[in-house]
């Protein structure tokens, strides 16, 4: 049963699911999408032989809608999410959902649930989850005969407890993705593999894990649920890992631009060696859910490395956070095409 917006305390939200009144669905069969529109049930009846259950044909995106001080609702770079979903679809031999239809589906779902977009200043946002699954009867290893594309939404608070404050991370002995595997696609299997290391880290008091490169285990690749960055002490260079198995984050792409063009920082996508963290004064995780989450320390093989700003967010991380969120909420001027209004 869906919830009533009047019953929600937006300022005390965690990051959890809610059954809102409307979601978008589209169905694919015989080479075309059909029956596209809003539905009310949060249940999807599908065949027990669907490839989403057996062979991992399951891709998704993460986005947010923001209510500005002017009470207008904004989307942040939805065209980039559409492109990434289709890149994931191509990797798993799934049909693409046209970019213009993707953006329209997101807008219609947000509009239909507009009462649940948190008010400006509450610290909460409307999280948007577009996804596609393989359905139909297919028990042989191969692509599905049918597919469902859907978009559902829910209001959420900060992904990491404590909001914009520093957190402790720990490296993992597990690999997030294999070289030449599906690390660059947003597929469900990548996240299923991350559940145990993430649970282990949290049980030891850490916010999340940091994954090293699977080939050598010497370089940082990603945080458990977000991309990773550091800021060099000398020259304040903004550095984020480069690897073909890293998910191409829209938040990372945006922050690289903002660091260089708004803050005047040198930027680099390159190697960050786990035994060379002393070069860096600030560190953080960045992604749609995490936004920018400062990392105060990383523990590797039992040794904790504290960054210069281990107890509070550093000045450059803070400036990037304010620049990014200012654009998302409409408080700062956005680069052309970054913000799409929900009419």
Tell me, yes or no, whether 179 and 131 share the same domain. no
pLDDT score, position 53: 96
On whether residue 274 sits in a domain, the answer given is yes
- For residue 327, give the 3-state DSSP assignment: helix
User: At 289, is the pLDDT very low, low, confident or very high (cuts 50, 70, 90)?
Assistant: confident
On whether residue 340 sits in a domain, the answer given is no
Beta-strand relationship, 167-171 and 208-212: parallel
> What percent of the chain stands above pLDDT 70?
99
Give the residue, 26 or 5, on which the prediction is more confident: 26
Tell me, yes or no, whether 152 and 174 share the same domain. no
Give pTM, 2 decimals: 0.95
How many whole angstroms separate alpha carbon 248 and alpha carbon 87?
10
Tell me, yes or no, whether 236 and 317 share the same domain. yes
* Number of domains observed in the structure of the chain: 2
* Residues 228-248 as b or e (16 or more Cβ within 10 Å = b): bbbbbeeebbbbbbebebbbe
Residue 185 has pLDDT above 80, yes or no: yes
pLDDT score, position 1: 67
- For residue 7, give the 3-state DSSP assignment: helix
Q: What is the pLDDT of residues 195-217, one digit of tens each?
A: 999 999 999 999 999 999 999 99
Helices (H), the chain: 51-54, 78-91, 99-112, 188-192, 195-203, 250-261, 315-328
User: What CATH number does the domain containing 30 carry?
Assistant: 3.30.470.10
| Catalytically active residues, by annotation | 186
Tell me, yes or no, whether 124 and 29 share the same domain. yes
Range with the poorest average pLDDT among 81-90, 108-117, 180-189:
180-189
The total of other beta-carbon atoms located within 10 Å of residue 255's CB is 27
Residue 160 has pLDDT above 90, yes or no: no
pLDDT score, position 48: 97
Tell me, yes or no, whether 102 and 223 share the same domain. no
How many whole angstroms separate alpha carbon 329 and alpha carbon 118?
12
User: At 3, is the pLDDT very low, low, confident or very high (cuts 50, 70, 90)?
Assistant: confident
Tell me, yes or no, whether 181 and 305 share the same domain. yes
Tell me, yes or no, whether 216 and 139 share the same domain. no
Tell me, yes or no, whether 221 and 92 share the same domain. no
On whether residue 162 sits in a domain, the answer given is no
Q: What is the pLDDT of residues 23-44, one digit of tens each?
A: 999 999 999 999 999 999 999 9
CA dihedral 61, 67, 70, 75 (to 10 degrees): 0
User: What CATH number does the domain containing 184 carry?
Assistant: 3.20.10.10
Last residue in a domain, options 102, 130, 156: 156
Q: Name the most confidently modeled range: 2-11, 81-90, 164-173.
A: 81-90
Residue 162 has pLDDT above 70, yes or no: no
* DSSP β-bridge partners for residue 292: 286
Tell me, yes or no, whether 118 and 239 share the same domain. no
Last residue in a domain, options 156, 182, 205: 156
Residue 125 structural domain: 5-156
Residue 161 has pLDDT above 70, yes or no: no
Mean pLDDT of the chain: 95
Average pLDDT over residues 265-287: 96
Tell me, yes or no, whether 232 and 94 share the same domain. no
On whether residue 285 sits in a domain, the answer given is yes
Give the residue, 154 or 7, on which the prediction is more confident: 154
On whether residue 265 sits in a domain, the answer given is yes
Residues 6+ apart with CB under 8 A from 217: none
On whether residue 335 sits in a domain, the answer given is no
Last residue in a domain, options 117, 137, 156: 156
Measured over the CA atoms of residue 278, residue 280, residue 284 and residue 287, the dihedral's sign is: negative
Tell me, yes or no, whether 118 and 172 share the same domain. no
Tell me, yes or no, whether 36 and 16 share the same domain. yes
């Amino acid at each position: 049963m869906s919830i009533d917006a009047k019953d929600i305390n937006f300022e005390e939200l965690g990051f959890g699911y809610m059954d809102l009144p409307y979601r978008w669905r589209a169905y694919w069969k015989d080479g075309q999408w059909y029956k596209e529109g809003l539905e009310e049930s949060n249940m999807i009846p599908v065949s027990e032989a669907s490839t989403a259950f057996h062979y991992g044909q399951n891709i998704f995106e993460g986005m947010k809608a923001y209510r500005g001080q002017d009470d207008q609702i904004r989307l942040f770079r939805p065209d980039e999410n559409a492109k990434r979903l289709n890149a994931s679809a191509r990797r798993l031999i799934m049909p693409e959902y046209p970019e213009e239809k993707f953006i329209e589906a997101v807008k219609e779902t947000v509009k239909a649930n507009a009462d649940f977009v948190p008010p400006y200043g509450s610290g909460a946002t409307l999280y948007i989850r577009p996804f596609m699954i393989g359905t139909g009867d297919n028990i042989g290893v191969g692509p599905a005969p049918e597919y469902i594309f859907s978009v559902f939404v829910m209001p959420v608070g900060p992904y990491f407890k404590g909001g914009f404050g520093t957190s402790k991370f720990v490296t993992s002995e597990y690999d997030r993705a294999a070289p030449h595997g599906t690390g660059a696609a947003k597929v469900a299997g990548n996240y299923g593999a991350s559940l145990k290391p993430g649970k282990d880290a949290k049980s030891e008091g850490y916010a999340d894990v940091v994954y090293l490169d699977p080939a050598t285990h010497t370089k940082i690749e990603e945080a458990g649920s977000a991309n990773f960055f550091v800021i060099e002490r000398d020259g304040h260079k903004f550095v984020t890992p480069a690897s073909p198995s890293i998910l191409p984050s829209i938040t990372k792409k945006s922050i690289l631009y903002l660091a260089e063009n708004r803050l005047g920082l040198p930027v680099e996508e390159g190697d960050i060696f786990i035994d060379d963290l002393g070069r860096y004064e600030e560190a953080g995780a960045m992604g749609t859910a995490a936004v920018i989450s400062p990392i105060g320390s990383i523990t590797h093989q039992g040794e904790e490395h504290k960054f210069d700003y281990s107890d509070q967010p550093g000045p450059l991380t803070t400036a990037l956070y304010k620049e990014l969120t200012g654009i998302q909420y409409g408080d700062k001027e956005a680069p052309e095409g970054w913000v799409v209004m929900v009419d």
